[in-house]
Amino acid sequence: MPRSREQVERAAVEAEAWLDGLDPDDDSVRVDDPADLRQIARALHAVVDAEQMLTLAISAARANGRSWNEIARIVGMSRQATQKRYDRARPTTPPDLIADAGAGRSP
């Protein structure tokens, strides 16, 4: 993913705020049906959720003794790139809750 999780999350929040602020009675704003734009914002939220779920899964795999080589093979990146990207990632949910990750917010 070319953008960081924080950038994607910020973009999704900003998009939702912008859409919520549109006034359909304002003639200077052309808003036929912003459903497609809201779908983009929901997809951005899903990307953030998926990235967090991946981080949790990698954290759990590391806690279970999996090597960076094993994880990198699954992620489809080099060992070095995988370790650089995920070694410092600190999930906000403990690894033992990985089974519940992604079950929360719906798009």
pLDDT at 101: 45
pLDDT at 95: 47
Those residues whose C-beta lies under 8 Å from the C-beta of residue 14, and which sit 6 or more positions away, are none
Q: Measure CA 13 to chain center.
A: 12
Q: Which residue has the higher pLDDT, 105 or 62?
A: 62
Total-model pTM? 0.57
- Mean pLDDT computed over 45-54: 90
pLDDT at 66: 95
pLDDT bucket at 1, cuts 50 / 70 / 90: very low
pLDDT at 98: 46
- Mean pLDDT computed over 84-96: 65
- Mean pLDDT computed over 66-85: 94
